[in-house]
Amino acid sequence: MPSLVRSIPIAALSAPDFLGVGRLDGGRRPAAKAYFWSLNDFACRPASAEIMVLVSYMIRRDYLVVGAGIGGASACEGIRKYDKRGSVTLVGAEAFPPYKRWILSKSFLREKEANPKKLQEVDERWFDAHKIEARFGTVVTQFNIERRLAVLANGESIEFTKACLAMGSRPIRPAMAGTSLGNVIYLRTTRDALALREMANLEKTIMVVGGGLLACESAASLRMMKMKVGLMHRDAYLLNRYIDAETGAWLTEFFTKHGVVLSMGEALNGFEGKTVLRNIQTKSGNRFPVGLAVVACGAEPNLDLVRNTPLAGPHGSPVTEYLETEEKGIYAIGDLAFYPDRIMGGMRRQTHWENAREQGLVAGANMTGKKRIRYEQVPYFWTEMFDLRMDFVGDFTLPPTRVNLDGTYPKKKFIARYYQGDKLRGILLCQQTQREVDAAKSQLRQAQGK
């Protein structure tokens, strides 16, 4: 860590110096660095009227982006579009540059040879070309809102004018026995995917726990790799958070026909084993002998850095339509942002790639002060399972009161429109073209009067 040691006569220290953080630059504010010290830095020199002060320099930046996923990378892109000269630092905990996280449960898992470079969304050289300091494999341990100060794990500090929080999500670990056993995988990062690939070659019996998007994608990919795959879900059909019962029953049967052994209505009770997984126990008392488990029981926003501050709420980090928190100059995007949905109404938090990408561009532009853009997008996400492509346009948070189906399940090509009363709220498209997806977005806007 860049630092220096200075010897200071005790007489030179005034009383106010001991009340907080002092400065060794005579009150001047350097353009790039400022030297700070505190009482914790003092070490007395024996038989001397001086003390030794260990001083670390503080980096000053116009913009700090915390989180190096697609949201953080897009925020940098948005900043540079409108501010070519402002100083920018991007800090990310993962060692890899921003990458296509959504591929991890799909093609990346199935490829014969793993090539992490194929995942990259933004080439590392892009940051150098745009004069953005990118620090990968770096963790922010403290975030001081009032002082606009971020402390890194290596002890360095970054003083910023504006910041964007883009820390994403982390997998939920069920509060039960055995969740940290070897061969229990939580698929979130490139390292997780590489570990799963390696273990899957050794353990041929795999259980996927969960019935959402990640669980279904992982189970489908592992089955396409000719693995013996089971899937355990506590509800009656797959993707029950998003689709209606009739479509869910068809999808569940579709997985069965592709050789996935389903255990529906089974709730997880714990993992058994001394050091590695041996059995999965359910609340009904059943035991499944498996050597590898993929746990996909949801995700939660990474808000520990700003816990117990106004930036952390029960549903994420509350932001305005401009993606700014109540702390002026601090923005939150992607999996963190609990934002007002200007199209569908209400407040919403989305955990999907397209949302993080678009919000990053909007927040980055707004941070510069040279643009004022509202985030206004129809909620959208998609999934691939076996040979199916399904696009979800609109709001799927509530069960529909009415479903209109165009097409048929046996042909695996249909459009299902979900209504709340007489109002169209969501459109599910199976095996449809991009043109149809775009038309669905327009239809939903019109239905909401937007």
- pLDDT number for residue 224: 96
Backbone dihedral angles phi then psi of residue 234, each to the nearest 5 degrees? -75, -15
Which pLDDT does position 57 carry in this prediction? 60
Give the mean pLDDT of 329-348.
Answer: 97
Task: Identify the weakest region by mean pLDDT among 68-72, 113-117, 351-355, 446-450.
Answer: 113-117
CA distances for 310 relative to 64, 307, 316, angstroms: 19, 8, 11
What average pLDDT does the structure give for the chain? 88
CA distance 247 to 241: 12
Token pair belonging to 281: 């126990």
Which residues, 6 or more positions from 28, have their beta carbon under 8 angstroms from its beta carbon?
none
Give the model's pLDDT for residue 114.
85
Rounded CA-CA distance 300/436 in Å is 32
Q: Residue 165 in 3-state DSSP?
A: strand
Region 413-433: what's the mean pLDDT? 97
What is the rounded average pLDDT of the residues 297-302? Answer: 95
Q: Which residue from 24, 140, 55 is spatially nearest to 92, judged by alpha carbons?
A: 140
Mean pLDDT over 277-292 rounds to 95
Q: What tokens were used for 178?
A: 């055995």
Q: CA 104 to CA 218: how far, in whole Å? A: 9
Q: How confident is the model at residue 56, as a pLDDT?
A: 52
Question: What is the C-alpha separation between 177 and 278, in angstroms, rounded?
Answer: 13
Q: How many CB atoms lie within 10 A of CB 102?
A: 21
Query: 398 vs 116, which has greater pLDDT?
Result: 398
| CA–CA gap between residue 365 and residue 383 (Å, rounded) | 29
Position 282 pLDDT exceeds 70: yes
Q: What is the pLDDT of residue 201?
A: 87
> 114, 201 in Cβ contact below 8 A?
no
Residue 435 pLDDT greater than 90, yes or no: yes
Q: What is the pLDDT of residues 349-380, one digit of tens each?
A: 999 999 999 999 999 999 999 999 999 999 99
Q: Is the pLDDT of residue 189 over 60?
A: yes
pLDDT at 193 over 90: yes
Residue 309 token pair: 């501050």
Residue 406 predicted with pLDDT over 80: yes
Q: What is the pLDDT of residue 15?
A: 35
* In the predicted structure, residue 144 carries a pLDDT above the cut 80: yes
Contact 192, 185 (CB under 8 A): yes
> Do residues 89 and 65 touch, judged by C-beta distance below 8 A?
yes
What distance in Å separates the CA atoms of residue 343 and residue 240, rounded to the nearest whole number? 24
User: pLDDT value at position 62?
Assistant: 98
Q: In the prediction, which pLDDT does 437 show?
A: 98
Q: Of 22-36, 224-238, 247-261, which range is least confident?
A: 22-36
- Tokens 């095996």 identify what position? 431
Share of the chain above pLDDT 70, in %: 87
Q: Residue 412's closest CA among 450, 393, 386?
A: 386
How far, in Å, CA of 368 to CA of 162, rounded? 9
Q: Looking at the predicted structure, is the pLDDT value of residue 8 above 60?
A: no
Higher pLDDT, 424 or 46: 424
Specify the pLDDT at position 28: 34
In this predicted structure, what is the pLDDT of residue 115?
Answer: 83
Confidence bin at 213 (pLDDT 50/70/90): very high
Q: Are 120 and 97 in contact (CB under 8 A)?
A: yes
Token look-up 């069965």 returns 256
Q: What is the pLDDT of residue 24?
A: 35
- State the Cα–Cα distance between residues 413 and 295, nearest whole angstrom: 30
Q: Are 328 and 311 a contacting pair, CB within 8 Å?
A: no
Rounded to 5 degrees, φ, ψ at 64 are: -125, 125
Confidence of residue 229 (pLDDT cuts 50, 70, 90): very high
Helices 213-224 and 245-257, axial angle in degrees (round to 10)? 20
Is the pLDDT score of 19 beyond 60?
Answer: no
What is the sign, positive or negative, of the torsion defined by CA atoms of 417, 421, 423, 425?
Answer: negative
